[in-house]
Amino acid sequence: MDSIALAAPDTMLFRGMLAGLLMAAPVGAVGAMCIRRALSGHLFRTLTVGFGSAVADTIFGALAGLGIGFIGSFIVAHEAGLTLFGGLIVTLAGVLTFRAPVDTSTAEEDAEAAIRDGVRAFVLSIVNPATFLGAIGIFALLGGADVTVAPAKAASLVHGVFVGSMLWWITLSVGIRLMRERFASKALPELNHIEGVVITLFGLGAIGFGLWFLSQGKPL
């Protein structure tokens, strides 16, 4: 029986929250950004990183969970090209992070830096087609909603994705912040290099997958 038919209307929010948690939890380039900001003492900037990623998760969750076909079909059909493009963007971001000046200050209310981090996290997430493919798998398991038949349920589902994703980032940010005292302050300057290397490796991995997709005959 269709899983949507078995779901009560008030379960859509919680289903979306679970999907958002599952989408956000895998450690990737944005996770490295979040951990680095938290260890450096920039809690506000850490949360904006999570916000940027949560917005991207919500977009992909809406496409997968609401069955919006055209864009989703385009992403799946052009998986190889989008993966290569996303990998190049992530790799470039990693190299720039590695070479960036180290910020050892603990000022948390730098609005300009926070906005920049949020936008960067959004871009790193939205150019990664693996996030959308993961969302497809999650909603295939959990079930989605038909926006044309039940718009209120669809809205609850999408809202839940954002709440669940943001809940993960808040938990991670606060948890890492509480562990910050275990790291010697002299080790903090190395975090820029560590973050840059991790992001670059994820980017190179995406490029590798893109090349593999091309070798399997998938179109750009």
pLDDT digits (tens, 9 = 90+) for 47-69: 999 999 999 999 988 888 776 65
**Separation of alpha carbons 27 and 14, rounded Å:** 22
The pLDDT of residue 72: 60
Which among 53, 15, 32 is positioned nearest to 150, based on CA atoms?
A: 15
The C-alpha atoms of residue 164 and residue 52 are separated, in whole angstroms, by 14
Domain boundaries, the chain: 9-215
Angle, to 10 degrees, between the axis of helix 43-65 and the axis of helix 69-77? 100
Which residue type is seen at 38?
A: A
The dihedral of CA 116, 117, 119, 123: what is its sign?
Answer: positive
- Rg of the chain over Cα atoms, rounded to whole angstroms, equals 18
Q: Enumerate residue ranges in the chain where pLDDT < 70.
A: 1-10, 27, 67-76, 100-109, 146-149, 181-192, 219-220
Q: How high is the pLDDT of residue 27?
A: 66
DSSP single-letter state for residue 101: P
| pLDDT given at position 176 | 82
Q: What is the pLDDT of residue 163?
A: 95
* Residue written as token pair 């980017």: 203
